[in-house]
Structures are given as C-alpha cells and as structure tokens.
C-alpha cells in the first residue's frame, strides 16, 4: 500500500466502484484505518458474518472508530464516511454513530482536547 491514500468499500456482495479498495470484513477495514491511509470509507451493514453469538457488520467498524475518537486515540483527520447499506434499520443506526463520531471529533476528542 506504500504511501498512497485509499478509499475503502466494505461489502460482501457488491463490487467496489473503480478507484476503491474492497474489504470483506470489519477487521480488514479497522486494520486499514489503523494505518492512517484511508481518506474515504463506504460501509455496508449486513456482511453475512453472523456466527450465532455476534454479528460483525459495518456498524462494528463505526463502533471501533467512535471509541478511538471518544478516548482520544484517533489523532488525525477523519475519513469521509458514507453508508451504502440496503438495510434501512442498519443504515439509520450506522448514520447515528457517524454523526456522533463527527460531533466528538469536532469537540476536540482525538486531537488532544477533553
């Protein structure tokens, strides 16, 4: 991946648009976010990763990012975040977390404040 910036598309079914890197699991996306190279992120909710005990979804990525920002561990600009899920309940839940992430970041969490 070198020094380039990437646009990450999380989806188990739909192909990534041209110019986007496709990821299939929340763990892949979290790993890429941890490298600090993601400029844009588009997430699906349902990924078919339900093991009976827990379901790993695009929401999983957002909860991780919310924690990173809220605890001050995220110290760089946020990627542009969009949700392309066809699941209306999942999409709404994810968009609420996106708003919280932006609110926390705007308040200075993750940049040395509070």
What domains are there in the chain, each with its CATH number? 6-106 (3.40.50)
Looking at residue 50, its pLDDT comes to: 65
Looking at residue 52, its pLDDT comes to: 57
Name the pTM for this structure. Answer: 0.86
Q: How far apart are CA 66 and CA 34, in angstroms?
A: 13
Q: How far apart are CA 9 and CA 25, in angstroms?
A: 10
Looking at residue 20, its pLDDT comes to: 96
Q: What residues of the chain score a pLDDT lower than 70?
A: 1-3, 47-55, 109-114
Q: By CB neighbour count within 10 A (0-12 exposed, 13-18 middle, 19+ buried), where does 43 fall?
A: buried
Looking at residue 37, its pLDDT comes to: 87
């Amino acid at each position: 991946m070198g020094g380039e910036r990437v646009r990450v598309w999380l989806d188990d079914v739909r192909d990534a648009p041209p110019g986007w890197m496709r990821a299939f699991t929340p763990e892949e996306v979290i790993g890429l976010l941890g490298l600090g190279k993601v400029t844009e992120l588009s997430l699906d909710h349902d990924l078919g990763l339900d093991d009976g005990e827990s379901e790993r979804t695009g929401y999983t990525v957002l909860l991780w990012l919310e924690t990173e920002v809220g605890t001050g561990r995220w110290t760089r600009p946020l990627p542009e975040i969009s949700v392309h899920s066809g699941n209306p309940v999942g999409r709404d839940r994810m968009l609420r977390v996106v708003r919280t992430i932006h609110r926390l970041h705007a308040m200075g969490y993750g940049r040395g404040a509070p």
